[in-house]
Amino acid sequence: MRDFSVDHRWLSLNTATVRKQGDLTQIIEACARHGIRAIDPWRDQVASVGLDRAVRAARDAGLELSGYCRGGMFASDAAHRGEVRDDNRRCIDEARALGAPCIVLVVGGLPQYSRPGSVVSKDIGAARAQVDEALAEMLDYAREASMPLAIEPLHPAYAADRACVNTTRQALDICDRLDPQRTGALGVALDVYHIWWDPEVLSQIARAGQERLLAFHVCDWLVPTKDILNDRGMMGDGVIEIKRLRAAVEAVGFGGYSEIEIFSNDWWGRPMDEVLKTCIARHRTVV
Amino acid sequence: MRDFSVDHRWLSLNTATVRKQGDLTQIIEACARHGIRAIDPWRDQVASVGLDRAVRAARDAGLELSGYCRGGMFASDAAHRGEVRDDNRRCIDEARALGAPCIVLVVGGLPQYSRPGSVVSKDIGAARAQVDEALAEMLDYAREASMPLAIEPLHPAYAADRACVNTTRQALDICDRLDPQRTGALGVALDVYHIWWDPEVLSQIARAGQERLLAFHVCDWLVPTKDILNDRGMMGDGVIEIKRLRAAVEAVGFGGYSEIEIFSNDWWGRPMDEVLKTCIARHRTVV
Protein backbone atom coordinates (compact mmCIF):
# COMPACT_ATOMS: atom_id res chain seq x y z
CA MET A 1 0.00 0.00 0.00
CA ARG A 2 1.41 3.38 -1.00
CA ASP A 3 2.55 5.75 1.72
CA PHE A 4 0.39 8.87 1.48
CA SER A 5 1.81 10.51 4.59
CA VAL A 6 4.80 12.13 2.94
CA ASP A 7 3.11 14.17 0.21
CA HIS A 8 -0.12 14.47 -1.72
CA ARG A 9 1.03 13.46 -5.17
CA TRP A 10 -1.82 10.91 -5.41
CA LEU A 11 -4.54 13.32 -4.40
CA SER A 12 -7.03 14.30 -7.07
CA LEU A 13 -9.79 16.82 -6.46
CA ASN A 14 -13.25 16.17 -7.77
CA THR A 15 -14.24 19.72 -8.55
CA ALA A 16 -17.76 19.32 -7.16
CA THR A 17 -16.11 19.48 -3.74
CA VAL A 18 -15.68 23.26 -4.10
CA ARG A 19 -18.33 23.94 -6.74
CA LYS A 20 -19.98 26.69 -4.72
CA GLN A 21 -16.73 28.56 -4.05
CA GLY A 22 -15.68 29.35 -7.60
CA ASP A 23 -15.85 28.43 -11.26
CA LEU A 24 -13.65 25.80 -12.85
CA THR A 25 -10.83 28.17 -13.74
CA GLN A 26 -10.72 29.46 -10.17
CA ILE A 27 -10.69 25.89 -8.86
CA ILE A 28 -7.84 25.03 -11.22
CA GLU A 29 -5.86 28.05 -10.00
CA ALA A 30 -6.45 26.99 -6.39
CA CYS A 31 -5.26 23.45 -7.16
CA ALA A 32 -2.08 24.86 -8.68
CA ARG A 33 -1.55 26.98 -5.54
CA HIS A 34 -1.87 23.91 -3.32
CA GLY A 35 0.26 21.57 -5.42
CA ILE A 36 -2.68 19.37 -6.36
CA ARG A 37 -1.77 17.45 -9.52
CA ALA A 38 -5.12 16.20 -10.76
CA ILE A 39 -8.81 17.00 -10.93
CA ASP A 40 -12.04 15.34 -11.99
CA PRO A 41 -14.26 18.10 -13.39
CA TRP A 42 -18.03 18.00 -13.87
CA ARG A 43 -19.66 18.64 -17.21
CA ASP A 44 -21.70 21.59 -16.00
CA GLN A 45 -18.57 23.24 -14.60
CA VAL A 46 -16.78 22.73 -17.92
CA ALA A 47 -19.77 24.04 -19.87
CA SER A 48 -20.06 27.19 -17.81
CA VAL A 49 -16.49 28.31 -18.60
CA GLY A 50 -16.49 26.75 -22.07
CA LEU A 51 -14.77 23.54 -23.14
CA ASP A 52 -11.82 25.21 -24.90
CA ARG A 53 -11.10 27.44 -21.96
CA ALA A 54 -11.31 24.49 -19.56
CA VAL A 55 -8.89 22.45 -21.70
CA ARG A 56 -6.44 25.36 -21.80
CA ALA A 57 -6.71 26.14 -18.09
CA ALA A 58 -6.00 22.56 -17.07
CA ARG A 59 -3.11 22.27 -19.51
CA ASP A 60 -1.58 25.60 -18.50
CA ALA A 61 -1.74 24.56 -14.84
CA GLY A 62 -0.12 21.22 -15.66
CA LEU A 63 -3.09 19.32 -14.25
CA GLU A 64 -3.97 15.74 -15.09
CA LEU A 65 -7.49 14.41 -14.97
CA SER A 66 -8.49 11.37 -12.90
CA GLY A 67 -11.87 11.14 -14.61
CA TYR A 68 -14.70 13.14 -16.12
CA CYS A 69 -18.04 13.48 -14.33
CA ARG A 70 -20.39 12.32 -15.53
CA GLY A 71 -21.98 10.26 -18.25
CA GLY A 72 -24.95 7.97 -17.96
CA MET A 73 -28.52 8.66 -16.87
CA PHE A 74 -29.38 5.79 -19.17
CA ALA A 75 -32.82 4.96 -17.81
CA SER A 76 -35.49 6.66 -19.92
CA ASP A 77 -38.65 6.00 -21.83
CA ALA A 78 -38.54 5.28 -25.56
CA ALA A 79 -39.04 8.94 -26.48
CA HIS A 80 -35.84 9.96 -24.67
CA ARG A 81 -33.47 7.29 -26.01
CA GLY A 82 -32.08 9.62 -28.67
CA GLU A 83 -31.34 12.23 -26.00
CA VAL A 84 -29.54 9.62 -23.91
CA ARG A 85 -27.40 8.53 -26.84
CA ASP A 86 -26.51 12.00 -28.11
CA ASP A 87 -25.82 13.40 -24.66
CA ASN A 88 -23.44 10.55 -23.83
CA ARG A 89 -21.64 10.88 -27.16
CA ARG A 90 -21.03 14.55 -26.46
CA CYS A 91 -19.70 13.55 -23.05
CA ILE A 92 -17.17 11.23 -24.70
CA ASP A 93 -16.09 13.97 -27.11
CA GLU A 94 -15.57 16.40 -24.22
CA ALA A 95 -13.65 13.81 -22.20
CA ARG A 96 -11.30 13.25 -25.14
CA ALA A 97 -10.72 16.96 -25.56
CA LEU A 98 -9.88 17.24 -21.87
CA GLY A 99 -7.61 14.20 -21.90
CA ALA A 100 -9.62 12.33 -19.27
CA PRO A 101 -8.54 8.75 -18.56
CA CYS A 102 -12.17 7.62 -18.16
CA ILE A 103 -15.75 8.80 -17.85
CA VAL A 104 -17.54 8.18 -14.56
CA LEU A 105 -21.03 6.83 -15.22
CA VAL A 106 -23.99 7.47 -12.96
CA VAL A 107 -26.49 5.20 -14.64
CA GLY A 108 -29.78 6.82 -13.61
CA GLY A 109 -32.63 5.65 -11.42
CA LEU A 110 -36.23 5.41 -12.52
CA PRO A 111 -36.78 7.05 -15.93
CA GLN A 112 -38.75 10.06 -14.65
CA TYR A 113 -35.76 11.09 -12.50
CA SER A 114 -33.00 9.97 -14.85
CA ARG A 115 -34.43 11.75 -17.89
CA PRO A 116 -37.12 14.19 -16.75
CA GLY A 117 -40.18 14.09 -18.95
CA SER A 118 -40.00 10.32 -19.30
CA VAL A 119 -43.16 8.36 -18.54
CA VAL A 120 -43.40 7.63 -14.80
CA SER A 121 -42.49 4.09 -13.79
CA LYS A 122 -41.82 2.20 -10.57
CA ASP A 123 -40.27 -0.75 -12.39
CA ILE A 124 -36.65 -0.74 -11.25
CA GLY A 125 -36.05 -4.02 -13.07
CA ALA A 126 -37.04 -2.36 -16.34
CA ALA A 127 -34.79 0.61 -15.54
CA ARG A 128 -31.90 -1.79 -15.03
CA ALA A 129 -32.58 -3.40 -18.41
CA GLN A 130 -32.57 0.05 -20.04
CA VAL A 131 -29.20 0.76 -18.42
CA ASP A 132 -27.69 -2.37 -19.95
CA GLU A 133 -29.01 -1.53 -23.37
CA ALA A 134 -28.08 2.15 -23.48
CA LEU A 135 -24.68 1.51 -21.93
CA ALA A 136 -23.93 -1.10 -24.57
CA GLU A 137 -24.69 1.51 -27.23
CA MET A 138 -22.49 4.12 -25.53
CA LEU A 139 -19.70 1.57 -25.20
CA ASP A 140 -19.49 1.12 -28.98
CA TYR A 141 -18.85 4.84 -29.43
CA ALA A 142 -16.48 4.93 -26.44
CA ARG A 143 -14.39 2.07 -27.82
CA GLU A 144 -13.95 3.92 -31.10
CA ALA A 145 -12.83 6.97 -29.13
CA SER A 146 -10.60 4.85 -26.86
CA MET A 147 -12.38 6.32 -23.85
CA PRO A 148 -12.85 3.86 -20.93
CA LEU A 149 -16.17 3.95 -19.11
CA ALA A 150 -16.33 3.52 -15.33
CA ILE A 151 -19.69 2.47 -13.85
CA GLU A 152 -20.11 3.97 -10.39
CA PRO A 153 -22.36 1.90 -8.18
CA LEU A 154 -24.25 4.37 -6.00
CA HIS A 155 -25.45 3.84 -2.44
CA PRO A 156 -28.90 2.19 -2.36
CA ALA A 157 -30.28 5.45 -0.92
CA TYR A 158 -30.05 6.79 -4.50
CA ALA A 159 -31.64 3.81 -6.24
CA ALA A 160 -34.83 5.64 -7.17
CA ASP A 161 -33.52 8.96 -8.40
CA ARG A 162 -29.86 8.65 -9.35
CA ALA A 163 -28.61 5.15 -10.03
CA CYS A 164 -30.25 1.75 -10.08
CA VAL A 165 -26.80 0.11 -10.02
CA ASN A 166 -26.22 -0.08 -6.27
CA THR A 167 -23.56 -2.66 -5.51
CA THR A 168 -20.10 -3.46 -6.79
CA ARG A 169 -21.31 -6.96 -7.65
CA GLN A 170 -24.06 -5.54 -9.83
CA ALA A 171 -21.68 -3.16 -11.62
CA LEU A 172 -19.19 -5.96 -12.26
CA ASP A 173 -21.96 -8.22 -13.55
CA ILE A 174 -22.68 -5.54 -16.16
CA CYS A 175 -18.99 -5.33 -17.02
CA ASP A 176 -18.87 -9.10 -17.48
CA ARG A 177 -21.90 -9.05 -19.75
CA LEU A 178 -20.75 -6.15 -21.96
CA ASP A 179 -16.97 -6.63 -21.88
CA PRO A 180 -16.31 -10.27 -21.08
CA GLN A 181 -12.78 -10.06 -22.44
CA ARG A 182 -11.83 -7.45 -19.82
CA THR A 183 -10.40 -5.20 -22.51
CA GLY A 184 -10.13 -2.17 -20.25
CA ALA A 185 -12.94 -0.39 -22.09
CA LEU A 186 -15.37 -0.88 -19.20
CA GLY A 187 -14.84 -0.95 -15.46
CA VAL A 188 -15.97 0.59 -12.20
CA ALA A 189 -15.44 3.78 -10.22
CA LEU A 190 -15.58 2.90 -6.53
CA ASP A 191 -16.44 5.59 -4.03
CA VAL A 192 -16.07 4.58 -0.39
CA TYR A 193 -19.27 6.48 0.42
CA HIS A 194 -21.31 4.17 -1.76
CA ILE A 195 -19.69 0.82 -1.01
CA TRP A 196 -18.39 0.84 2.58
CA TRP A 197 -21.50 -0.83 4.03
CA ASP A 198 -21.50 -3.75 1.58
CA PRO A 199 -20.72 -7.10 3.24
CA GLU A 200 -19.29 -8.27 -0.11
CA VAL A 201 -17.15 -5.25 -0.84
CA LEU A 202 -13.74 -6.85 -0.29
CA SER A 203 -14.48 -9.96 -2.34
CA GLN A 204 -15.97 -7.85 -5.12
CA ILE A 205 -12.90 -5.58 -5.21
CA ALA A 206 -10.79 -8.71 -5.59
CA ARG A 207 -13.09 -9.87 -8.36
CA ALA A 208 -12.78 -6.52 -10.16
CA GLY A 209 -9.02 -6.70 -10.41
CA GLN A 210 -6.78 -4.05 -11.86
CA GLU A 211 -8.40 -4.06 -15.32
CA ARG A 212 -11.79 -3.12 -13.93
CA LEU A 213 -10.72 -0.61 -11.25
CA LEU A 214 -10.71 2.67 -13.13
CA ALA A 215 -11.24 5.15 -10.31
CA PHE A 216 -11.26 5.38 -6.51
CA HIS A 217 -13.12 8.14 -4.66
CA VAL A 218 -13.03 9.08 -1.00
CA CYS A 219 -15.05 11.09 1.49
CA ASP A 220 -16.78 9.86 4.67
CA TRP A 221 -20.18 8.76 6.02
CA LEU A 222 -21.37 11.00 8.84
CA VAL A 223 -23.56 9.89 11.75
CA PRO A 224 -26.09 11.37 11.74
CA THR A 225 -26.42 12.16 8.05
CA LYS A 226 -28.54 15.30 7.94
CA ASP A 227 -29.14 15.40 4.19
CA ILE A 228 -29.32 12.33 2.02
CA LEU A 229 -27.47 14.01 -0.85
CA ASN A 230 -25.38 16.88 0.47
CA ASP A 231 -24.05 15.87 3.87
CA ARG A 232 -21.02 13.81 2.96
CA GLY A 233 -18.15 14.03 5.37
CA MET A 234 -14.50 15.04 5.12
CA MET A 235 -12.30 11.95 5.38
CA GLY A 236 -11.80 11.09 9.02
CA ASP A 237 -14.98 12.76 10.27
CA GLY A 238 -17.20 9.71 9.75
CA VAL A 239 -17.29 5.95 10.16
CA ILE A 240 -15.69 4.59 6.99
CA GLU A 241 -12.51 2.53 7.26
CA ILE A 242 -10.97 4.34 4.31
CA LYS A 243 -7.49 2.87 4.64
CA ARG A 244 -8.87 -0.67 4.63
CA LEU A 245 -10.69 -0.01 1.36
CA ARG A 246 -7.68 1.71 -0.22
CA ALA A 247 -5.53 -1.24 0.84
CA ALA A 248 -8.01 -3.57 -0.89
CA VAL A 249 -7.96 -1.72 -4.22
CA GLU A 250 -4.18 -1.36 -4.13
CA ALA A 251 -3.80 -5.06 -3.30
CA VAL A 252 -5.28 -5.88 -6.71
CA GLY A 253 -3.03 -3.37 -8.46
CA PHE A 254 -4.83 -0.03 -8.45
CA GLY A 255 -2.17 2.67 -8.65
CA GLY A 256 -4.17 5.74 -9.64
CA TYR A 257 -5.32 8.86 -7.86
CA SER A 258 -7.28 8.89 -4.65
CA GLU A 259 -9.98 11.33 -5.68
CA ILE A 260 -11.74 13.46 -3.09
CA GLU A 261 -15.42 14.04 -3.83
CA ILE A 262 -17.45 15.68 -1.08
CA PHE A 263 -20.98 16.97 -1.60
CA SER A 264 -21.53 18.94 1.57
CA ASN A 265 -23.54 22.00 2.45
CA ASP A 266 -21.09 22.40 5.32
CA TRP A 267 -17.89 22.33 3.27
CA TRP A 268 -19.42 24.36 0.43
CA GLY A 269 -19.86 27.11 2.98
CA ARG A 270 -16.12 27.41 3.76
CA PRO A 271 -13.36 29.23 1.86
CA MET A 272 -11.82 27.23 -0.98
CA ASP A 273 -8.29 27.38 0.48
CA GLU A 274 -9.49 26.05 3.84
CA VAL A 275 -11.23 23.14 2.13
CA LEU A 276 -8.18 22.26 0.02
CA LYS A 277 -5.81 22.52 2.99
CA THR A 278 -8.05 20.19 4.97
CA CYS A 279 -8.32 17.76 2.06
CA ILE A 280 -4.52 17.60 1.82
CA ALA A 281 -4.07 17.10 5.58
CA ARG A 282 -6.67 14.33 5.71
CA HIS A 283 -5.31 12.68 2.57
CA ARG A 284 -1.96 12.36 4.31
CA THR A 285 -3.36 11.07 7.61
CA VAL A 286 -6.57 9.08 7.19
CA VAL A 287 -6.86 8.08 3.51
CA MET B 1 -51.81 -13.82 -4.13
CA ARG B 2 -54.51 -12.91 -1.65
CA ASP B 3 -57.10 -10.32 -2.62
CA PHE B 4 -56.73 -7.40 -0.22
CA SER B 5 -59.28 -5.21 -1.99
CA VAL B 6 -62.37 -6.58 -0.25
CA ASP B 7 -61.45 -6.03 3.40
CA HIS B 8 -58.49 -5.38 5.67
CA ARG B 9 -58.37 -8.62 7.62
CA TRP B 10 -54.66 -9.03 6.81
CA LEU B 11 -53.67 -5.53 7.88
CA SER B 12 -51.55 -5.25 11.01
CA LEU B 13 -50.53 -1.92 12.46
CA ASN B 14 -47.02 -1.41 13.72
CA THR B 15 -47.78 0.92 16.58
CA ALA B 16 -44.81 3.19 15.86
CA THR B 17 -46.90 4.48 12.95
CA VAL B 18 -49.04 6.50 15.37
CA ARG B 19 -46.65 6.71 18.32
CA LYS B 20 -46.93 10.48 18.62
CA GLN B 21 -50.75 10.51 18.62
CA GLY B 22 -51.41 8.42 21.72
CA ASP B 23 -50.18 5.76 24.10
CA LEU B 24 -50.51 2.06 23.45
CA THR B 25 -53.94 1.69 25.05
CA GLN B 26 -55.26 4.56 22.94
CA ILE B 27 -53.76 3.00 19.82
CA ILE B 28 -55.39 -0.31 20.69
CA GLU B 29 -58.77 1.39 21.13
CA ALA B 30 -58.36 3.09 17.77
CA CYS B 31 -57.51 -0.23 16.10
CA ALA B 32 -60.66 -1.77 17.58
CA ARG B 33 -62.71 1.19 16.24
CA HIS B 34 -61.31 0.65 12.75
CA GLY B 35 -61.65 -3.12 12.66
CA ILE B 36 -57.88 -3.67 12.64
CA ARG B 37 -57.19 -7.20 13.88
CA ALA B 38 -53.47 -7.12 14.71
CA ILE B 39 -50.69 -4.90 15.94
CA ASP B 40 -46.93 -5.01 16.38
CA PRO B 41 -46.13 -2.96 19.48
CA TRP B 42 -42.78 -1.47 20.46
CA ARG B 43 -41.12 -2.20 23.76
CA ASP B 44 -41.02 1.42 24.87
CA GLN B 45 -44.74 1.78 24.19
CA VAL B 46 -45.46 -1.36 26.21
CA ALA B 47 -43.21 -0.21 29.04
CA SER B 48 -44.84 3.18 29.30
CA VAL B 49 -48.31 1.72 29.95
CA GLY B 50 -46.97 -1.32 31.82
CA LEU B 51 -46.68 -4.89 30.49
CA ASP B 52 -49.72 -6.27 32.34
CA ARG B 53 -51.93 -3.46 31.19
CA ALA B 54 -50.70 -3.86 27.60
CA VAL B 55 -51.43 -7.59 27.68
CA ARG B 56 -54.94 -6.97 29.05
CA ALA B 57 -55.72 -4.17 26.61
CA ALA B 58 -54.74 -6.23 23.57
CA ARG B 59 -56.66 -9.27 24.84
CA ASP B 60 -59.77 -7.26 25.71
CA ALA B 61 -59.74 -5.71 22.23
CA GLY B 62 -59.37 -9.15 20.65
CA LEU B 63 -56.14 -8.11 18.94
CA GLU B 64 -53.50 -10.51 17.67
CA LEU B 65 -49.85 -9.57 17.40
CA SER B 66 -47.88 -9.84 14.17
CA GLY B 67 -44.57 -9.36 15.98
CA TYR B 68 -42.88 -7.56 18.82
CA CYS B 69 -40.48 -4.68 18.17
CA ARG B 70 -37.68 -4.97 18.83
CA GLY B 71 -34.86 -7.12 20.09
CA GLY B 72 -31.26 -7.00 19.05
CA MET B 73 -28.73 -4.18 19.19
CA PHE B 74 -26.18 -6.95 19.47
CA ALA B 75 -23.06 -5.03 18.51
CA SER B 76 -21.25 -3.86 21.63
CA ASP B 77 -17.89 -3.85 23.32
CA ALA B 78 -17.01 -6.55 25.84
CA ALA B 79 -18.19 -4.48 28.79
CA HIS B 80 -21.74 -4.30 27.39
CA ARG B 81 -22.24 -7.97 26.50
CA GLY B 82 -24.10 -8.69 29.73
CA GLU B 83 -26.47 -5.80 29.01
CA VAL B 84 -27.10 -7.15 25.50
CA ARG B 85 -27.89 -10.63 26.84
CA ASP B 86 -30.13 -9.54 29.70
CA ASP B 87 -31.99 -6.95 27.67
CA ASN B 88 -32.78 -9.47 24.94
CA ARG B 89 -33.90 -12.10 27.46
CA ARG B 90 -36.34 -9.59 28.94
CA CYS B 91 -37.58 -8.89 25.43
CA ILE B 92 -38.33 -12.60 24.94
CA ASP B 93 -40.19 -12.75 28.27
CA GLU B 94 -42.31 -9.75 27.30
CA ALA B 95 -43.04 -11.18 23.85
CA ARG B 96 -44.27 -14.42 25.45
CA ALA B 97 -46.50 -12.53 27.86
CA LEU B 98 -48.00 -10.60 24.93
CA GLY B 99 -48.45 -13.70 22.80
CA ALA B 100 -46.29 -12.41 19.98
CA PRO B 101 -45.57 -14.83 17.12
CA CYS B 102 -41.99 -13.57 16.78
CA ILE B 103 -39.54 -10.87 17.83
CA VAL B 104 -38.28 -8.48 15.18
CA LEU B 105 -34.51 -8.05 15.50
CA VAL B 106 -32.69 -4.87 14.61
CA VAL B 107 -29.15 -6.09 15.04
CA GLY B 108 -27.30 -2.86 15.75
CA GLY B 109 -24.68 -0.93 13.82
CA LEU B 110 -21.29 0.03 15.17
CA PRO B 111 -21.03 -0.64 18.92
CA GLN B 112 -21.03 3.02 20.01
CA TYR B 113 -24.47 3.50 18.38
CA SER B 114 -25.87 0.05 19.13
CA ARG B 115 -24.99 0.12 22.82
CA PRO B 116 -24.06 3.68 23.81
CA GLY B 117 -21.02 3.82 26.02
CA SER B 118 -19.27 1.08 24.06
CA VAL B 119 -15.75 1.79 22.85
CA VAL B 120 -15.84 3.62 19.52
CA SER B 121 -15.06 1.48 16.49
CA LYS B 122 -15.27 1.79 12.71
CA ASP B 123 -14.84 -1.94 12.16
CA ILE B 124 -18.14 -3.02 10.64
CA GLY B 125 -16.74 -6.51 10.07
CA ALA B 126 -16.14 -6.86 13.80
CA ALA B 127 -19.66 -5.56 14.51
CA ARG B 128 -21.04 -8.23 12.21
CA ALA B 129 -19.09 -10.92 14.06
CA GLN B 130 -20.51 -9.62 17.36
CA VAL B 131 -24.02 -9.87 15.92
CA ASP B 132 -23.51 -13.53 15.03
CA GLU B 133 -22.20 -14.34 18.48
CA ALA B 134 -24.77 -12.47 20.56
CA LEU B 135 -27.63 -13.62 18.35
CA ALA B 136 -26.54 -17.23 18.79
CA GLU B 137 -26.71 -16.71 22.55
CA MET B 138 -30.17 -15.10 22.36
CA LEU B 139 -31.36 -17.92 20.12
CA ASP B 140 -30.67 -20.52 22.82
CA TYR B 141 -32.94 -18.69 25.23
CA ALA B 142 -35.54 -18.04 22.50
CA ARG B 143 -35.70 -21.73 21.57
CA GLU B 144 -36.41 -22.66 25.19
CA ALA B 145 -39.19 -20.06 25.20
CA SER B 146 -40.46 -21.21 21.78
CA MET B 147 -40.18 -17.64 20.55
CA PRO B 148 -39.08 -17.28 16.89
CA LEU B 149 -36.60 -14.54 16.07
CA ALA B 150 -36.90 -12.53 12.85
CA ILE B 151 -33.78 -10.72 11.64
CA GLU B 152 -34.76 -7.52 9.86
CA PRO B 153 -32.19 -6.47 7.28
CA LEU B 154 -32.15 -2.67 7.31
CA HIS B 155 -31.47 -0.37 4.38
CA PRO B 156 -27.74 0.31 3.97
CA ALA B 157 -28.40 3.92 4.97
CA TYR B 158 -28.63 2.59 8.54
CA ALA B 159 -25.51 0.41 8.46
CA ALA B 160 -23.51 2.61 10.82
CA ASP B 161 -26.04 3.42 13.50
CA ARG B 162 -28.85 0.86 13.45
CA ALA B 163 -28.11 -2.41 11.73
CA CYS B 164 -25.05 -3.85 10.06
CA VAL B 165 -27.21 -6.55 8.45
CA ASN B 166 -28.25 -4.78 5.28
CA THR B 167 -29.40 -7.29 2.70
CA THR B 168 -31.76 -10.24 2.66
CA ARG B 169 -28.86 -12.42 1.51
CA GLN B 170 -26.82 -11.43 4.53
CA ALA B 171 -29.72 -12.11 6.94
CA LEU B 172 -30.36 -15.51 5.36
CA ASP B 173 -26.67 -16.37 5.55
CA ILE B 174 -26.90 -15.81 9.32
CA CYS B 175 -30.02 -17.99 9.48
CA ASP B 176 -28.21 -20.75 7.61
CA ARG B 177 -25.25 -20.56 9.97
CA LEU B 178 -27.26 -20.52 13.21
CA ASP B 179 -30.26 -22.63 12.23
CA PRO B 180 -29.18 -24.86 9.36
CA GLN B 181 -32.09 -27.25 9.94
CA ARG B 182 -34.62 -24.47 9.23
CA THR B 183 -36.48 -25.28 12.42
CA GLY B 184 -38.58 -22.12 12.36
CA ALA B 185 -36.72 -20.69 15.35
CA LEU B 186 -34.91 -18.13 13.19
CA GLY B 187 -35.97 -16.25 10.10
CA VAL B 188 -36.33 -12.80 8.60
CA ALA B 189 -38.68 -9.82 8.79
CA LEU B 190 -38.77 -8.18 5.38
CA ASP B 191 -39.78 -4.54 5.11
CA VAL B 192 -40.24 -3.26 1.59
CA TYR B 193 -38.56 0.01 2.60
CA HIS B 194 -35.31 -1.77 3.32
CA ILE B 195 -35.20 -4.30 0.50
CA TRP B 196 -36.94 -2.82 -2.55
CA TRP B 197 -33.72 -1.54 -4.15
CA ASP B 198 -31.87 -4.87 -3.91
CA PRO B 199 -31.17 -6.45 -7.31
CA GLU B 200 -31.25 -9.85 -5.61
CA VAL B 201 -34.45 -9.36 -3.63
CA LEU B 202 -36.67 -11.74 -5.59
CA SER B 203 -34.17 -14.59 -5.66
CA GLN B 204 -33.45 -14.13 -1.95
CA ILE B 205 -37.16 -14.20 -1.09
CA ALA B 206 -37.38 -17.50 -2.97
CA ARG B 207 -34.35 -18.74 -1.06
CA ALA B 208 -35.95 -17.77 2.26
CA GLY B 209 -39.02 -19.88 1.72
CA GLN B 210 -41.98 -20.08 4.03
CA GLU B 211 -40.00 -21.32 7.06
CA ARG B 212 -37.80 -18.25 7.09
CA LEU B 213 -40.40 -15.58 6.24
CA LEU B 214 -41.69 -14.57 9.64
CA ALA B 215 -42.94 -11.04 8.95
CA PHE B 216 -43.68 -8.67 6.07
CA HIS B 217 -43.75 -4.89 6.55
CA VAL B 218 -44.92 -2.17 4.17
CA CYS B 219 -44.61 1.58 3.70
CA ASP B 220 -43.09 3.49 0.78
CA TRP B 221 -39.88 5.21 -0.36
CA LEU B 222 -40.43 8.89 -1.09
CA VAL B 223 -38.50 10.94 -3.65
CA PRO B 224 -37.06 13.14 -2.34
CA THR B 225 -36.54 11.64 1.11
CA LYS B 226 -36.23 14.65 3.40
CA ASP B 227 -35.12 12.81 6.53
CA ILE B 228 -33.10 9.64 6.48
CA LEU B 229 -35.00 8.15 9.43
CA ASN B 230 -38.42 9.76 9.70
CA ASP B 231 -39.64 10.45 6.17
CA ARG B 232 -41.09 7.10 5.17
CA GLY B 233 -44.08 7.27 2.90
CA MET B 234 -47.64 5.99 3.05
CA MET B 235 -48.05 3.07 0.67
CA GLY B 236 -48.70 4.39 -2.82
CA ASP B 237 -47.00 7.74 -2.28
CA GLY B 238 -43.52 6.55 -3.27
CA VAL B 239 -41.69 4.40 -5.77
CA ILE B 240 -41.83 0.89 -4.34
CA GLU B 241 -43.61 -1.84 -6.29
CA ILE B 242 -45.30 -3.15 -3.17
CA LYS B 243 -47.61 -5.62 -4.90
CA ARG B 244 -44.69 -7.23 -6.71
CA LEU B 245 -42.91 -7.83 -3.41
CA ARG B 246 -46.04 -9.11 -1.69
CA ALA B 247 -46.63 -11.45 -4.62
CA ALA B 248 -43.08 -12.76 -4.18
CA VAL B 249 -43.44 -13.53 -0.47
CA GLU B 250 -46.86 -15.09 -0.97
CA ALA B 251 -45.53 -17.19 -3.85
CA VAL B 252 -43.28 -18.99 -1.38
CA GLY B 253 -46.11 -19.48 1.09
CA PHE B 254 -46.21 -16.43 3.33
CA GLY B 255 -49.77 -16.08 4.63
CA GLY B 256 -49.39 -13.70 7.55
CA TYR B 257 -50.23 -10.08 8.15
CA SER B 258 -49.12 -7.23 5.97
CA GLU B 259 -47.83 -4.93 8.67
CA ILE B 260 -47.80 -1.19 8.17
CA GLU B 261 -44.81 0.56 9.73
CA ILE B 262 -44.36 4.23 8.86
CA PHE B 263 -41.86 6.47 10.64
CA SER B 264 -42.90 9.87 9.37
CA ASN B 265 -42.82 13.35 10.80
CA ASP B 266 -45.60 14.11 8.34
CA TRP B 267 -47.99 11.29 9.37
CA TRP B 268 -47.16 11.69 13.07
CA GLY B 269 -48.58 15.19 12.74
CA ARG B 270 -52.04 14.01 11.63
CA PRO B 271 -54.97 12.73 13.72
CA MET B 272 -54.83 9.01 14.55
CA ASP B 273 -58.16 8.26 12.87
CA GLU B 274 -57.07 9.93 9.64
CA VAL B 275 -53.86 7.90 9.59
CA LEU B 276 -55.68 4.61 10.21
CA LYS B 277 -58.36 5.36 7.61
CA THR B 278 -55.64 6.11 5.07
CA CYS B 279 -53.72 2.94 6.00
CA ILE B 280 -56.85 0.85 5.43
CA ALA B 281 -57.64 2.51 2.10
CA ARG B 282 -54.09 2.05 0.82
CA HIS B 283 -53.90 -1.51 2.11
CA ARG B 284 -56.92 -2.34 -0.04
CA THR B 285 -55.67 -0.55 -3.16
CA VAL B 286 -51.88 -0.52 -3.44
CA VAL B 287 -50.50 -3.19 -1.07
pLDDT tens digit string along A13-71?
999 999 999 999 999 999 999 999 999 999 999 999 999 999 999 999 999 999 999 99
Question: Chain B interface, mutation test: which of A119, A220, A239, A245, most B Cβ atoms within 10 Å?
Answer: A239
Would B111 be classed as within a structural domain?
yes
Q: Given an 8 Å threshold on Cβ–Cβ distance, is B197 in contact with A241? A: no
- For strands B258-260 and B11-14, give the pairing: parallel
pLDDT tens across A232-253, in order? 999 999 999 999 999 999 999 9
Would A2 be classed as within a structural domain?
no
Would B132 be classed as within a structural domain?
yes
Task: Give the pLDDT score at B238.
Answer: 98
Q: Given an 8 Å threshold on Cβ–Cβ distance, is B113 in contact with A223? A: yes
Closest alpha carbon within chain A to B157? A157
* Strand ranges in chain A using DSSP code E only, listed in sequence order: 11-14, 38-40, 64-65, 68-72, 103-106, 149-151, 186-191, 213-218, 258-260
Residue A117: CA atoms inside 13 Å, Cβ hemisphere, count?
Answer: 7
Q: What domain range includes position A82?
A: 11-285
Q: Given an 8 Å threshold on Cβ–Cβ distance, is A157 in contact with B159? A: no
| Residue A155 in contact with partner chain B when CB distance is under 8 A | yes
Would A204 be classed as within a structural domain?
yes
Shortest Cα distance, chain B CAs vs residue A238, angstroms = 9
Out of B110, B156, B239, name the one closest to residue A239 (CB): B110
Would B193 be classed as within a structural domain?
yes
Is the complex ipTM higher than 0.95? Answer: yes
Would B183 be classed as within a structural domain?
yes
Mean pLDDT of A74-82: 97
Q: Is residue B156 within 8 Å of B102, Cβ to Cβ?
A: no
pLDDT tens across B240-263, in order? 999 999 999 999 999 999 999 999
Inter-chain CB pairs, A–B, below 8 Å: 75
Give the model's confidence band at B203: pLDDT under 50 very low, under 70 low, under 90 confident, else very high: very high
Count the domains in chain B. Answer: 1
| Residue B124 in contact with partner chain A when CB distance is under 8 A | yes
pLDDT tens across B39-79, in order? 999 999 999 999 999 999 999 999 999 999 999 999 999 99
| Residue A110 in contact with partner chain B when CB distance is under 8 A | yes
Residues in A touching B239 (Cβ below 8 Å): 110, 122, 124, 160
List, as one string, the DSSP characters of A242-276: HHHHHHHHHHTT--S-EEE---BHHHHTS-HHHHH
| Residue A160 in contact with partner chain B when CB distance is under 8 A | yes
Would B6 be classed as within a structural domain?
no
Would A130 be classed as within a structural domain?
yes
Q: Given an 8 Å threshold on Cβ–Cβ distance, is B160 in contact with A122? A: no
Which CATH number fits the domain that encloses residue A66? 3.20.20.150
